């Protein structure tokens, strides 16, 4: 039996609708020919997460993000996750919002922690993972601040160099004027400088001649000094010293005998009888002189006619 044109058009339309449905479902991230479970995770900020972004476990794709439900009154976003029923989640499992490479996409990573089995439509714990971009941003921010500070410092230094440049220009101009003045001074006194140079040459020559003369005069003096030294060396100093040593030795022997009480000087030194006798004699002389003063006639007889005194 032939199929009519209308039937063919209707079948094609129904087939197109089926293909459209399955295509739309696939684009939403739902698995067409596999069974799955739906779970929820709540985030304060999904950081650009979109529907159909992958859900992974240890790097393996196990599901898709199927819906994003903003909660305006709570300031939260509920993320619906369609995950293969082969993945057994627990009430301690965590849905981690992480970066999907360096491009900037987002995905959900599952961390399954032992616990009680989680029912379908259950709520997963949520957590944000610090991505590479965030880490780089944290590292770059202080660097940018340092670069900004360095830029300001360089700007200030450049401004100071501008002022220094002006001062250098003035200094160079002054140096140029000084150089010109020195050149003019040298040019004006070139003759005097030549005479001074000639005089210095003559003076050097005279000093050389003087040094030669002094050398000739000093050599005889040194020769005489050498001969004088030889004469001193030739003296019989040894004999004189030996004789002096003998004299000192004899004198020491004499002093030793005196200290021992030997000889006249030794007895005079060690015996006080001479001192006692001398003291007595001096006393008798004093008495005699005193008596002579009192009774001079007793000792001196003087007569003009030669008459003898009576006894």
pLDDT class of 311 with cuts at 50, 70, 90: very low
9 or 266: which carries more pLDDT confidence?
A: 9
Q: What is the DSSP string of 147-169?
A: HHHHHHHHHHHHHHHHHHHHHHH
The CA-based dihedral angle spanning residues 282, 283, 287, 293, taken in that order and rounded to the nearest 10 degrees: 40
**Could you give the number of structural domains in the chain?**
2
More confident residue, 42 or 144: 42
In a domain, 233, yes or no: no
270-282 pLDDT per residue, tens: 667 777 887 888 8
Look at the block and give the residue holding tokens 């030793």. Answer: 256
Convert the pLDDT of each residue in 191-218 to its tens digit.
Answer: 777 778 888 888 888 888 887 877 777 7
> 282 or 163: whose pLDDT is higher?
282
Q: Which domain holds residue 95?
A: 33-129
The answer to whether the CB of 84 falls within 8 A of the CB of 72 is: no
Q: Which of 41, 31, 34, 36 lies closest to 84 in space, CA to CA?
A: 36
Last residue of a domain, one of 147, 173, 188: 188
What pLDDT score was predicted for residue 138? 64
CATH of the domain at 57: 2.40.30
What sign does the dihedral 239-242-248-253 (CA atoms) show?
negative
pLDDT in tens, 246-273: 888 888 887 887 777 777 766 666 667 7
Give the model's pLDDT for residue 81.
Answer: 92
Identify whether residues 62 and 78 lie together within a single domain: yes
Alpha carbons 36 and 95: distance in angstroms, whole number = 17
Mean pLDDT for 178-192 is 75
């Amino acid at each position: 039996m032939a199929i009519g044109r209308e039937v063919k058009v209707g079948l094609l339309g129904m087939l197109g609708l089926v293909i459209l449905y399955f295509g739309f479902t696939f684009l939403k991230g739902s698995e067409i020919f596999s069974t799955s479970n739906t779970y929820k995770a709540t985030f304060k900020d999904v950081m650009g997460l979109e529907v159909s972004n992958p859900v992974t476990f240890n790097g393996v794709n196990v599901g898709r993000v199927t819906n994003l439900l903003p909660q305006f009154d709570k300031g939260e976003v509920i993320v619906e996750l369609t995950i293969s029923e082969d993945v057994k989640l627990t009430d301690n499992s965590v849905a981690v919002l992480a970066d999907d490479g360096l491009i900037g996409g987002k995905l959900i990573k599952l961390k399954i922690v032992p616990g009680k089995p989680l029912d379908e439509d259950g709520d997963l714990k949520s957590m944000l993972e610090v991505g590479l971009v965030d880490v780089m941003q944290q590292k770059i921010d202080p660097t940018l601040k340092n670069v900004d500070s360095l830029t300001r410092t360089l700007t200030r230094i450049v401004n100071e160099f501008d002022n220094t440049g002006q001062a250098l220009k003035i200094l160079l101009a002054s140096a140029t004027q000084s150089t010109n003045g020195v050149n003019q001074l040298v040019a004006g006194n070139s003759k005097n400088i030549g005479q001074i140079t000639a005089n210095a040459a003559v003076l050097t020559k005279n000093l050389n001649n003087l040094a030669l003369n002094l050398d000739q005069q000093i050599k005889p003096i040194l020769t005489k000094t050498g001969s004088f030294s030889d004469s001193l060396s030739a003296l019989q100093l040894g004999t004189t010293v030996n004789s002096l040593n003998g004299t000192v030795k004899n004198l020491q022997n004499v002093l030793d005998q005196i200290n021992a009480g030997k000889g006249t000087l030794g007895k005079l030194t060690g015996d006080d009888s001479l001192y006692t006798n001398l003291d007595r004699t001096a006393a008798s002389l004093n008495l005699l002189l005193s008596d002579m003063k009192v009774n001079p006639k007793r000792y001196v007889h003087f007569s003009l006619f030669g008459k003898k005194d009576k006894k």
